[in-house]
């Protein structure tokens, strides 16, 4: 067994060294984020390794110091103390960078915080001549001097500064990162206390490596910021890099690259071939555009980022992308053709806040194809205005749902057989104090994107039940109110229970409701069938809305409990404009299947009469009435029904 010269227990320090070496090798073999926090963490690991190595070496050499040159003894011990100070400062620097604590500390306090480390380094370097930290004498050998406590003062100081940064940025820092920062600082404090309690056991390095592991696992593992399939940076990586660039006023621009036919290609080629092709694209982009950071957002969407304002080489980049995507992506067992759209996001249009930049990138992916079709290759401020409008609508919708200000307008449905209004379609409306009237197509799309569509549907149904609970519509001959169900609502397994609870609360039987679903809603056929049967048992009926806009299997549609099909307005208008004469055949087809037909978009008396001759059972459109508030609808009914 190896015999150590000193009385120190090295077990913990020796255990820390291989762990630190493995972490360093793995960390440096990966592509890390080009941000200061990553470099600070690397300095933490290097300083800790140096501190541990010099600690072991100096402890042994100090026992036989007379056998070595005095200058070498000073260098070895200085190496330990410098590593100790640098590790403490680097941990503080990492914390301040990761939680953006420097901004909260302010310029002067952040600068002053470096003074203790600078003073300690100067004292350590000067100690061979000043004997401030440690010294060697013939009778004592190595011993600590009067300013030795500054070493531990620096450690306590930088732990305190780290915690101050965390608490100053408490609300702005996510929970995982906060717990990580509190955790590794607590580990460091525990290590220092145990070192003082067990003076002959070198535990500082061991607890330092535990703190480093906490940081690595929670925030600095390079794989947290890489897409597994492509090995490119992911969306989280862009968020961190973008935040640092924005915070430090570093100009940068982005290029969105979208595989337009990704979804259809995935069906055609299969998942594995598409993933292989995406990997080939990623590697080609890294090799071809070395000045860019490349990110993969999934679903065939790539983002390229480069420092600078992007002025001279715009056409060259776009040309290279177009030229390469014009050819198949070939690899081992892979040959995939993908079409591509790309757009430049110049620095000038990027918002100040990173959250808004993230939204802009997502918005850009959705707009790239259409803008390319128009000949646009660069996003302008006019295009970005659409994003700001969408965000404003999103906030307006959220506030309206919170305040329960969603209104319901009603548009009459006319029976050709009875020659009177027998029903109405309930349509959601939103009027914001600042934005004014927001078109339904606009806020419904926003609701589907944000997930608010579920609550929107519930509030619309509640308004309808409140209206029916008055008894006025029934008194004036209204048999049913049609209520739209979104595809998202139809995927809710608790839909039937939720709607039944609302109708029961208002004392309104579901037999007064005709739910409208679209072809998109039946993608999960078994689930929607189950929901429809549950509601049908309580008396509700179902119509198929906007027929002709989807691609669903007609047999599957007719196997659902649907009693009416509403022909999309486009089909009706195409018939009257002479583009297609298929409308009469569609009416006959549904009649043969014992399904009634509603024609939407009726605007003139001529349209009314001709559609009646074709055999449409019901009609709906501006010829009868625009959608109106409930009180106006009642007044309208009182006028037309009595006449």
For the segment 13-31, the average pLDDT, to the nearest whole number, is 90
Burial 353-376 (b: 16+ CB within 10 A, else e): ebebbbbbbbbbbebbbebbeeee
| Nearest Cα residue to 618 out of 339, 424, 370 | 424
The pLDDT of residue 1:
46
Q: How far is Cα 348 from Cα 378, in angstroms, rounded to an integer? A: 11
Kindly tell me if the per-residue pLDDT of 451 is higher than 60.
yes
* 38 in Cβ contact with 220 (< 8 Å): yes
Secondary structure string (H, E, C) spanning 178-193: HHHHHHHHHHHHHHHH
C-alpha–C-alpha distance, residues 468 and 471, integer Å: 6
Cα of 120 vs its chain's centroid, Å: 44
Mean pLDDT, to the nearest integer, of 493-511? 92
Domain ranges in the chain are 11-222, 226-379, 392-642
Environment class of residue 93 by beta-carbon count within 10 Å: exposed (0-12), middle (13-18) or buried (19+)? buried
Q: What is the mean pLDDT of residues 102-117?
A: 92
- Three-class DSSP category at 65: helix
Percent of the chain residues past pLDDT 70, beyond the cut: 96
392-642 topology per CATH: TIM Barrel (3.20.20)
Place of tokens 């299947």: 593
Q: What is the mean pLDDT of residues 141-157?
A: 92
For residue 331, give the nearest of 275, 264, 258 by alpha carbon: 275
Per residue in 133-144, is it b (16+ CB within 10 Å) or e — as a string? bbbbeeeeebee
What pLDDT does residue 553 have? 58
pTM for this entry: 0.70
pLDDT for res 429: 95
Q: Which residues of 279-304 are buried (b: 16+ CB within 10 A; e: fewer)?
A: bbbbebbbeebeebbbbbbeebbbbb
Average of per-residue pLDDT values in the chain: 89
Q: Please provide residue 147's backbone torsions phi and psi, each rounded to the nearest 5 degrees.
A: -100, 10
| CATH classification code of 226-379 | 3.30.70.270
Dmax (CA) of the chain? 121
pLDDT of residue 643: 59
The torsion of the CA quartet 205, 208, 210, 211, rounded to 10 degrees, works out to 180
Residue 520: which pLDDT band, with cuts at 50, 70 and 90? confident
Label residue 363 by pLDDT band (50, 70, 90). Answer: confident
The CATH code for residues 11-222 is: 1.20.1070
CA gap 62, 67 in Å, rounded: 10
- What pLDDT score does 463 carry? 95
**Is the pLDDT reported for residue 550 higher than 70?**
no
pLDDT at 642: 63
Structure tokens given for 87: 């590790």
Which of 402, 421, 515, 521 shows the shortest CA–CA distance to 459?
Answer: 402
What is the per-residue burial (b if ≥16 Cβ within 10 Å, else e) of 323-351?
eebeeebeeeebebebebbbbbbbbebbe
pLDDT of 12 over the 90 cut: no
- Give pLDDT tens digits for 301-323: 999 998 887 666 777 888 899 89
Contacts of 522 (CB under 8 A, 6+ apart): 490, 528, 552, 556, 557, 560
Q: Which residue has the tokens 């591509």?
A: 340
pLDDT digits (tens, 9 = 90+) for 398-443: 999 999 999 999 999 999 999 999 999 999 999 999 989 999 988 9
**Cβ atoms within 10 Å, residue 519:** 20
CA distances from 336 to 267, 303, 339, 550 (A): 12, 20, 10, 28
**Mean pLDDT of the 626-630 span:** 95
Tell me the pLDDT band of 478, cut-offs 50, 70 and 90.
very high
**What is the model's pLDDT at position 318?**
86
Write out the H or E segment, with its range, that includes residue 407: strand 407-415
pLDDT by residue (tens digit) across 249-267?
Answer: 899 989 999 998 888 888 7
Average pLDDT over residues 616-629: 94
Tokens of 580: 């297609």
Cα separation, 158 vs 516, whole angstroms: 64
| 333 or 73, greater pLDDT | 73
Edge-to-edge strand order for the sheet containing 252-259?
A: 293-298, 301-307, 252-259, 340-345
Query: Is the pLDDT confidence value at 2 over 90?
Result: no
Tell me how far apart the alpha carbons of residues 502 and 629 are, in angstroms, rounded to a whole number.
21
**Backbone φ, ψ for residue 591 (5° rounding):** -65, -40
d(CA 203, CA 159): 18
Residue 643 or residue 345, greater confidence: 345
């Amino acid at each position: 067994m190896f015999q150590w010269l000193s009385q120190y227990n090295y077990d913990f320090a020796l255990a820390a060294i291989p762990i630190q070496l493995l972490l360093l090798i793995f960390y440096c073999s990966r592509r890390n984020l080009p941000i200061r926090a990553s470099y600070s963490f690397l300095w933490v690991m290097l300083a800790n390794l140096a501190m541990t190595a010099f600690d072991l070496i100096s402890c042994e050499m100090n026992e036989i110091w007379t056998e070595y040159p005095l200058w070498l003894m000073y260098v070895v011990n200085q190496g330990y103390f410098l590593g100790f100070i640098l590790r403490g400062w680097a941990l503080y620097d990492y914390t301040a960078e990761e939680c953006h604590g420097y901004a909260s500390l302010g310029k002067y306090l952040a600068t002053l915080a470096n003074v203790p480390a600078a003073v300690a380094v100067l004292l350590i370097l000067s100690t061979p001549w000043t004997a401030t930290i440690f010294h060697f004498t013939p009778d004592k050998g190595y011993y600590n001097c009067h300013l030795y406590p500054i070493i531990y003062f620096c450690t306590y100081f930088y732990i305190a500064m780290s915690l101050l940064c965390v608490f100053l940025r408490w609300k702005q820092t996510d929970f995982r990162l906060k717990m990580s920062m509190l955790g590794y600082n607590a580990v460091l404090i525990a290590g220092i206390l145990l070192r003082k309690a067990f003076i002959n056991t070198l535990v500082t390095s061991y607890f330092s490596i535990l703190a480093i592991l906490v940081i690595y696992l929670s925030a600095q593992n390079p794989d947290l910021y890489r897409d597994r399939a492509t090995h490119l940076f992911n969306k989280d990586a862009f968020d961190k890099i973008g935040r640092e660039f924005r915070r430090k006023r570093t100009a940068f621009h982005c290029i969105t690259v979208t595989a337009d036919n990704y979804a259809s290609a995935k069906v055609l080629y299969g998942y594995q071939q598409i993933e292989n092709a995406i990997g080939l694209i990623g590697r080609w982009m890294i090799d071809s555009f070395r000045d860019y950071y490349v990110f993969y957002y999934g679903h065939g969407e790539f983002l390229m980022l480069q420092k600078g304002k992007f002025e001279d080489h715009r056409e060259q980049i776009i040309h290279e992308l177009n030229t390469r995507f014009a050819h198949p992506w070939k690899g081992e067992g892979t040959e995939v053709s993908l079409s591509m759209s790309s757009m430049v996001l110049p620095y000038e249009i990027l918002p100040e806040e990173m959250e808004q930049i993230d939204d802009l990138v997502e918005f850009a992916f959705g707009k790239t194809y259409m803008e390319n079709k128009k000949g646009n290759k660069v996003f302008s401020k006019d295009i970005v205005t659409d994003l700001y409008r969408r965000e404003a609508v999103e906030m307006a919708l959220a506030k309206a749902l919170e305040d329960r200000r969603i209104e319901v307008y009603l548009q009459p449905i006319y029976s050709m057989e009875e020659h009177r209004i027998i029903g109405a379609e309930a349509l959601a409306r939103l009027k914001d104090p600042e934005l004014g009237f927001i078109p339904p197509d606009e806020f419904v799309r926003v609701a589907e994107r944000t997930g608010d569509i579920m609550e929107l549907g519930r509030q619309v149904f509640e308004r309808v039940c409140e209206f029916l609970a008055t008894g006025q519509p029934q008194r004036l001959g209204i048999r049913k109110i049609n209520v739209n169900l979104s595809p998202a609502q139809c995927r809710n397994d608790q839909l039937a229970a939720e709607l039944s609870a609302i109708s029961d609360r208002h004392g309104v039987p579901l037999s007064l409701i005709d739910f409208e679903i679209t072809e998109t809603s039946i993608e999960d056929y078994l689930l929607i069938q189950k929901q429809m049967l549950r509601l049908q048992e309580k008396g509700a009926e179902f119509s198929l809305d906007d027929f002709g806009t989807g691609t669903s299997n007609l047999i599957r549609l007719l196997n659902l409990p649907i009693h009416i099909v509403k022909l999309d307005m486009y089909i009706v208008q195409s018939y009257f404009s002479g583009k297609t004469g298929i409308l009469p055949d569609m009416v006959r087809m549904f009649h043969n299947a014992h399904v009634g037909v509603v024609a939407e978009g009726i605007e003139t008396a001529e349209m009314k009469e001709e559609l009646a001759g074709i055999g449409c059972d019901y009609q709906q459109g501006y010829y009868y009435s625009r959608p109106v508030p409930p009180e106006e609808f009642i007044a309208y009914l009182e006028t037309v029904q009595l006449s």
